[in-house]
Amino acid sequence: MSATATSSLFPLRLTLAGLVSVKAYPVPATNMLVVEAKGIESVILRGLDGKIVAQSVANTVNSDTIIINLDQNKPAAGLYLLCATTKTGPVVLKIPVE
């Protein structure tokens, strides 16, 4: 399976072998993180130690966007793993948080 990733301040997108495309922004994240993917079901933001920092599920069956509010948990600045579950499978992105 091949993967391509593009990164800039806005947005971060990962496409896996044409099967699923996940976009997260703004990058770096500050007070919120928007995650877009066709058929997205849930997202979990984890620290590099594996602990869950924030999580959210899609509000409707056909929703393609999930917003994570980072103001509630106030994660420390650093690198986090965004684990997105879509109908075509899971995707993990590295997300910097300021």
Q: In the CATH scheme, what is the code of domain 3-97?
A: 2.60.40.3080
- The pLDDT > 70 percentage for the chain reads 79
Residue that the structure tokens 């600045």 belong to: 77
- What is the total residue count of the chain? 98
How crowded is residue 33: how many other Cβ atoms within 10 Å of its Cβ? Answer: 25
pLDDT at 87 over 60: yes
Over residues 23-49, the pLDDT tens digits come to 999 999 999 999 998 889 999 999 999
State how far the alpha carbon of 42 is from the alpha carbons of 24, 35, 75, 78, 88, in Å: 13, 10, 19, 22, 12
**How are beta strands 32-37 and 12-16 bridged, if at all?**
unpaired
Q: How confident is the model at residue 11 (pLDDT cuts 50, 70, 90)?
A: low
Over residues 48-75, the pLDDT tens digits come to 999 999 999 988 766 889 999 998 878 9
Give ∠ CA 86-35-96 in degrees, rounded to 5.
120
